[in-house]
Amino acid sequence: MKIYKNTGNIDTRSGFGAGLAELGKTNPNVVALCADLTGSLKMDEFKDNHPERFFQIGIAEANMICIAAGMTIGGKIPFTGTFANFSTGRVYDQIRQSVAYSGKNVKICASHAGLTLGEDGATHQILEDLGLMKMLPGMTVINTCDYNQTKAATLAIAEYEGPVYLRFGRPKVANFTPEDQKFEIGKAVHLTEGNDVTIIATGHLVWEALEAAKILEEKGISAEVINIHTIKPLDETAILKSIRKTKCVVTAEEHNFLGGLGESVARTLTLNYPAPQEFVATNDTFGESGEPLMLLDKYGLNAKAIIEKAEAVILRK
Amino acid sequence: MSTTQHLQDFVTQVRRDILRQVHQVNSGHPGGSLGCAEYFSVLYQDVMEYSVDFDMDGKNEDLFFLSNGHISPVFYSVLSRSGFFPVKELNTFRKMDSRLQGHPTTHEGLPGIRIASGSLGQGMSVAIGAAQTKKLNKDTHLIYSLHGDGELQEGQNWEAILYAGSKGVDNLIATIDYNKKQIDGATDDVLPLGNLKKKFEAFDWKVIELKAGNDITAIKEALEKAKGLTGKKQPVVILMETEMGNGVDFMMGTHAWHGKAPNDEQLEKALSQNLETLGDY
């Protein structure tokens, strides 16, 4: 099995900040808007280098989303930055009408998604955002797994014309994808080859899936790990090709099972190739305060949980 | 510059268009549309610089954003009669497969529309965004926007009003359709707006009070005055006092025609008060 090396733990939000800083230099049409979380979103470098293209909106997310929509008129490419909860649930109607329905080229960039936000607790730990964004016609939904991929995705979405939701997070996590990767929206990344079970993971759980695959190999189970960074549009071809081989799948995401990646995979299977599936996701619940790793363990969102589900789904073949 | 007679004829024809559109599909919002017929006519016939060869980016032209999208009948009539799309397309208002959706949208590609509106309270922010891009592009043209007075009950407006005042967005002329009525009745009965002039001034806006919001000459003067106040580190708002249902005697002085279409008999009576000037669609 191919082994991936962690080049050092670093937060995915810093990958966003690095990508945005690079866009500041390379794309004069990129503008950035923030709702009083510049430091948390790692937007400082862009702000310092391009103050004329940085817009501090204050704590007013609805205003920020619609200002961003208006700024596209005249050719700007606005990147909005705030926490995932305030990027989606708080401003759903603004995104729906002024961005998605209006077809505006706004990049909604969201940090601190999911349980790994940690101690701030459930008010901030949105586990429904992928579903909310996935349901909007025309919205591209991306959830990156590490620093390098988040940086690459940030660069890629500036080149893409249309509304995008880019989700990343707060904790320092393994950085293992190539520094020089080309990020292709909607294209799955095959991480390991395997025959017994497919593990389809997104975001922080991709590294957990790789850790799980190593332990499964020791148990004599060969797992094929696929990194789905783009939840919409979903790379159904890659998913089906793998599951036709392994005959079963575990999906893994830091999100409610309702509305998440798992449901999109289940629909794909139902329509094309019904096969057993197990879900590593939160079970229709809110989160709570705590240390990120402990929360992931309590809510069953780590390598251990993926291994259990993999063993269970294989028995259902 | 258009003559006053031309503008008056234009307004009369716009009123007919509004009435005939909503009557045909027995739905839509004639009251606020009629109340703003003069404003739209002056804006598009006399004040704004624009190209009818529509381009979404609208560089080097003035742009208009309608926040209270339910008054789409007046917007569609004025856009079509200003040359953005064929007047006969008004015949498709609110019908299936039409570009003239119940509320305006970019989704169907109707020339002249730059944002969807209908869910209230979003247009001020959108207008601010477009104004900021104008500045980045070193484009000295202006942004105009229209908002309902009842719409100011939506909290997002006050985020936008605070932002525009604090950040000195001075290439924006917002107008409030101050007819003091909304669906459930008088704004004073639903949720009083208080002293709007003082409120906008407290948020560092320049305020123009337009008492005769259905008078072509007064509207022109107010818009010209507003233009003169741009570029001075403050946004500009016109509090335009209008009469809902203006130009049709039985629709005036009441909120009853906010979102109700006339029947055949009522249409005939309303049209008899506004005789054809530029030709019906």
pLDDT digits (tens, 9 = 90+) for B2-40: 789 999 999 999 999 999 999 999 999 999 999 999 999
Answer yes or no: do A164 and A208 share one domain.
Answer: no
Q: Is the ipTM of this complex over 0.90?
A: yes
Peptide bond between residue A233 and the one before it cis (omega within 30 degrees of 0): yes
What is the separation of C-alpha A10 from the centre of its chain, rounded to a whole number of angstroms?
Answer: 16
The answer to the question of residue B111 being in a domain is yes
The answer to the question of residue A306 being in a domain is yes
Identify the sign of the CA torsion B100, B106, B111, B115: positive
Cβ-Cβ contacts under 8 Å, A80 against chain B:
none
Q: Please report, for the domain that includes residue A43, its CATH number.
A: 3.40.50.970
Q: Please report, for the domain that includes residue A231, its CATH number.
A: 3.40.50.920
Number of domains chain A is built from = 2
Average pLDDT over residues A50-65: 98
In chain A, residues 59-88 whose CB comes closer than 8 Å to chain B = 60, 62-76, 78
Residue B257, pLDDT > 80, answer: yes
Number of domains chain B is built from = 1
Residue A110's DSSP bridge partners are A82, A167
Residue B88, pLDDT > 80, answer: yes
The answer to the question of residue A5 being in a domain is no
Residue B1, pLDDT > 90, answer: no
Which residue among A22, A45, A52, A61 is the active-site one?
A: A61
Asked if A103 and A58 count as a contact pair (C-beta separation under 8 A), the reply is no
The answer to the question of residue A263 being in a domain is yes
Q: How far apart are CA B118 and CA A243, in angstroms?
A: 45
Answer yes or no: do A25 and A164 share one domain.
Answer: yes
Answer yes or no: do A307 and A169 share one domain.
Answer: no
Last residue of a domain, one of A131, A148, A173: A173
Answer yes or no: do A217 and A294 share one domain.
Answer: yes
Q: What is the pLDDT of residue A171?
A: 97
The answer to the question of residue B279 being in a domain is no
Place of tokens 């570009």: B99
Answer yes or no: do A157 and A272 share one domain.
Answer: no
Q: How far apart are CA A66 and CA B121, in angstroms?
A: 10
Q: Is A55 on the interface with B (CB under 8 A)?
A: yes
How high is the mean pLDDT of chain B? 97
The answer to the question of residue A250 being in a domain is yes
Q: What is the DSSP letter of B149?
A: S
Answer yes or no: do A232 and A304 share one domain.
Answer: yes
The answer to the question of residue B224 being in a domain is yes
Average pLDDT over residues A93-104: 98
Q: How far apart are CA A244 and CA A237, in angstroms?
A: 11
- A131 Cβ contact list (under 8 Å, min separation 6): A255, A256, A258, A259, A260, A263
For residue A248, the number of C-alpha atoms closer than 13 Å in the C-beta half-sphere is: 19
The answer to the question of residue B220 being in a domain is yes
Number of residues written out for chain B: 281
Asked if B126 and B66 count as a contact pair (C-beta separation under 8 A), the reply is no
Q: Which domain holds residue B258?
A: 4-272
The answer to the question of residue A182 being in a domain is no
Q: What is the pLDDT of residues A210-250, one digit of tens each?
A: 999 999 999 999 999 999 999 999 999 999 999 999 999 99
According to DSSP, the β-strands at A140-143 and A189-190 are: unpaired
Last residue of a domain, one of A147, A173, A199: A173
Asked if A263 and A234 count as a contact pair (C-beta separation under 8 A), the reply is no
Answer yes or no: do A164 and A308 share one domain.
Answer: no
Q: What is the DSSP letter of B183?
A: T
A73, A86, A98, best to mutate vs chain B, most B CBs in 10 Å: A73
- A32 Cβ contact list (under 8 Å, min separation 6): A20, A24, A43, A46, A47, A50, A53, A54, A55, A78, A79, A80, A81
B27's tokens: 């739905």
The answer to the question of residue A85 being in a domain is yes
Last residue of a domain, one of A173, A198, A225: A173
Q: Is A273 on the interface with B (CB under 8 A)?
A: no
Which candidate, B265, B274, B270, B262, places its Cα nearest to that of B28? B262
Say yes or no for a CB contact (<8 Å) between B115 and A73. Answer: yes
Place of tokens 């040359």: B83
Asked if A303 and A309 count as a contact pair (C-beta separation under 8 A), the reply is no
Which candidate, B6, B3, B37, B4, places its Cα nearest to that of B270? B37
Cβ-Cβ contacts under 8 Å, B134 against chain A:
74
The answer to the question of residue B278 being in a domain is no
Say yes or no for a CB contact (<8 Å) between B125 and A55. Answer: no
The answer to the question of residue B281 being in a domain is no
CA distance A121 to chain B (A): 26
Say yes or no for a CB contact (<8 Å) between A62 and B118. Answer: no
> Which amino acid would we find at residue A13?
R
Q: Please report, for the domain that includes residue B63, its CATH number.
A: 3.40.50.970
How high is the mean pLDDT of chain A? 98
Q: For the packed helices B216-229 and B4-25, what is the interaxial angle rounded to 10 degrees? A: 100
Query: What burial class does residue B49 get, using C-beta atoms within 10 Å of its C-beta: 0-12 exposed, 13-18 middle, 19+ buried?
Result: exposed
Cβ-Cβ contacts under 8 Å, A103 against chain B:
106-107
The answer to the question of residue B277 being in a domain is no
What is the percentage of chain B residues whose pLDDT exceeds 70? 100
Say yes or no for a CB contact (<8 Å) between A94 and B156. Answer: yes
Answer yes or no: do A70 and A23 share one domain.
Answer: yes
- CB nearest to B126's CB, from A57, A66, A101: A66
Query: What single string gives the DSSP state of each residue in B247-266?
Result: TSGGGTT-STTSS----HHH
**Interior CA angle at B59 toward B53 and B64, to 5°?**
75
Cβ-Cβ contacts under 8 Å, B55 against chain A:
none
According to DSSP, the β-strands at A197-201 and B185-186 are: unpaired
Q: How far apart are CA B49 and CA A61, in angstroms?
A: 32
B119's tokens: 């869910």
The answer to the question of residue B118 being in a domain is yes
B23's tokens: 């009557």
Phi, psi (degrees; rounded to nearest 5) at A160:
-90, 135
Answer yes or no: do A23 and A141 share one domain.
Answer: yes
Give the H/E segment covering residue A129.
helix A129-134
According to DSSP, the β-strands at B181-182 and B185-186 are: antiparallel
Cβ-Cβ contacts under 8 Å, B162 against chain A:
58, 60
Cβ-Cβ contacts under 8 Å, B145 against chain A:
none
Q: Is there a catalytic annotation at residue A61?
A: yes
Phi, psi (degrees; rounded to nearest 5) at B94:
65, 15
A229: helix, coil or strand?
coil
Answer yes or no: do A79 and A150 share one domain.
Answer: yes
**Interior CA angle at A117 toward A113 and A121, to 5°?**
110
- A218 Cβ contact list (under 8 Å, min separation 6): none
Q: What is the pLDDT of residues A273-298, one digit of tens each?
A: 999 999 999 999 999 999 999 999 99
Answer yes or no: do A109 and A22 share one domain.
Answer: yes
Q: Which domain holds residue A222?
A: 189-315
The CA-to-CA distance between both ends of chain A, in Å, stands at: 23
The answer to the question of residue A180 being in a domain is no
Q: What is the pLDDT of residue A110?
A: 98
In chain B, residues 106-145 whose CB comes closer than 8 Å to chain A = 106-107, 114-119, 121-123, 125-134, 136-137, 139
Q: What is the pLDDT of residues B158-201, one digit of tens each?
A: 999 999 999 999 999 999 999 999 999 999 999 999 999 999 99
Average pLDDT over residues A5-30: 98
The answer to the question of residue A179 being in a domain is no
Say yes or no for a CB contact (<8 Å) between B133 and A70. Answer: yes
Answer yes or no: do A15 and A162 share one domain.
Answer: yes
Residue B215's DSSP bridge partners are none
Place of tokens 């009950």: B153
Q: What is the pLDDT of residue B2?
A: 79
Average pLDDT over residues B272-280: 98
Average pLDDT over residues B124-145: 98
The CA-atom distances, in angstroms, between B18 and each of A122, B111, B175 are 50, 19, 21
